[in-house]
Amino acid sequence: MSTPNDQADSGFHRGELAVQSEAGVRDEAARMARMLEPVELSGGLAGFLADQSFLAVTGRDATGRLWTSPLPGPAGFLEVRSGRELAVHIGLDADDPLHGITAGQKIGTTTVDFARRRRLRIDGVLTTATDDLLVIEVEQAYGNCPQYIQQRLLVPEAAGPQAAAGARRGTSLGPDDVELIRSADTFFLGTAHPRRGADASHRGGPPGFVRLDESGLWWPDYPGNNLFNSLGNLAVSPEAALLFLDFTTGATLHLSGTARTDRGEVGRPGDDGHDGRIVRFTLERLVAAHRLAAREIAHRPYPRNPALTTTAK
């Protein structure tokens, strides 16, 4: 049965409310509900976007499958055309799973200033999609806390010879994929709500916080802003898209499949966040390539990354 909240495009939807209630943070989240109201991209937000050089975008390919992709670009490639319109002046690589993305769908984006540990989520309707331009009619825009962002200094770099070799597509992880995942201290999680559309979220932790074992791929959920946008979406729809990046080599790994939240005893093995929540992902499709047109020249881990605990069985 739907609720009035399900019919509105602002405020929390029933999946977010359910996870907030289960975590015992409903009141805390309610105090931040105004963050989800429509907002103008003016003043500080416009200035922040003008300086950024990285955007993660979650959307659907021609078959309707959910993917999350990176869009690095020079400062200025994110242009606020009006308070409710954002232009992205760069195209998706020909081998990217979202290349050829169609206008008319609701997409989710997150821009991250790795050096200053700041991030901004912008969700809305993709109104224009060409080989070198995406235009988003903004519906939501709000900042997230700096927790778990590893400081990085990235510089633009042209795609190397490996990028010309094309992408590898498949349904199972190879040795290089496993190595990239197990060494990652950052990834992006794409989820979607059937009506409100897609969302792109940053996830960070110490290298090894994303595990691979006989049960598949999983990671502990860490305490955050208590909004539970991603886990709330998963409570309604299991669709999920993961993006892993090697910031030193330019390797990219896109995973598309489903995810679910496994709730258990607080402090159990693998519960690094000490909140009882572990997210388990089931792979259906992957795209691996070397296409990130940026390279890391300096790196500093987030100083309060949770310590890894014993791997869950």
Domains and CATH numbers, the chain: 4-300 (2.30.110.10)
Amino acid making up residue 247: F
What local confidence, expressed as pLDDT, does residue 34 receive?
A: 76
Tokens at 86, concatenated: 């954002």
Decide: 186 and 203 in contact? Cβ < 8 Å: yes
Can you tell me which residue has the tokens 């060409």? 130
Using alpha carbons, select from 106, 49, 51 the residue that is nearest to residue 80.
49
- Give, for 20, the enclosing helix (H) or strand (E): helix 14-23
pTM over 0.85: yes
What local confidence, expressed as pLDDT, does residue 1 receive?
A: 34
What local confidence, expressed as pLDDT, does residue 2 receive?
A: 38
Using alpha carbons, select from 118, 98, 101 the residue that is nearest to residue 110.
118
Tell me how far apart the 2 most distant CA atoms of the chain are, in Å: 54
What local confidence, expressed as pLDDT, does residue 191 receive?
A: 98
- 259 three-class SS: strand
d(CA 312, CA 2): 36
Can you tell me which residue has the tokens 């690094």? 272
What local confidence, expressed as pLDDT, does residue 83 receive?
A: 85
Tokens at 108, concatenated: 């989710």
Rg of the chain over Cα atoms, rounded to whole angstroms, equals 18
What local confidence, expressed as pLDDT, does residue 227 receive?
A: 87
Using alpha carbons, select from 113, 119, 122 the residue that is nearest to residue 83.
122
What local confidence, expressed as pLDDT, does residue 163 receive?
A: 52
- pLDDT under 70: residue ranges of the chain: 1-10, 158-165, 311-313
Q: In degrees rounded to 5, what are phi and psi of residue 285?
A: -145, 150
